């Protein structure tokens, strides 16, 4: 029987396996994402997509421009 995780361990917003296969749908070469808080951020362009209830919202209308994404991430620190 495995030990339960402590309650204060952060729960990932998205499954790491899923993250490893996702790519930016707005780019032809589908560059990978970095998980940054509650956002997926494209490693190539810096644009972001929100994660809502553990589900990445990768539709074009959900994209957050790179400049805005940088502002959002800087506000968190």
Which burial class, exposed, middle or buried, applies to 23 when counting CB atoms under 10 A from its CB (0-12, 13-18, 19+)?
Answer: middle
pTM of the model: 0.81
Question: What digits encode the pLDDT tens for the residues 30-72?
Answer: 999 999 999 999 999 999 999 998 889 999 999 999 999 999 9
Residue 46, number of CB atoms within 10 A of its CB: 16
What DSSP letter does each residue of 12-56 carry, written as one string? PSS-HHHHHH---TTSTT---EEEETTEEEETTT--EEEEETTEE
């Amino acid at each position: 029987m495995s030990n339960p995780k402590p309650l204060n361990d952060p729960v990932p917003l998205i499954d790491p396996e899923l993250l490893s296969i996702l790519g930016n749908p707005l780019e032809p070469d589908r560059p990978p994402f970095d998980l940054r808080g509650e956002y997926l951020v494209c490693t190539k362009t810096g644009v972001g997509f929100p994660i809502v209830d553990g589900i990445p919202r990768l539709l074009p209308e959900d994209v957050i421009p790179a400049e805005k994404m940088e502002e959002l991430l800087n506000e968190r620190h």
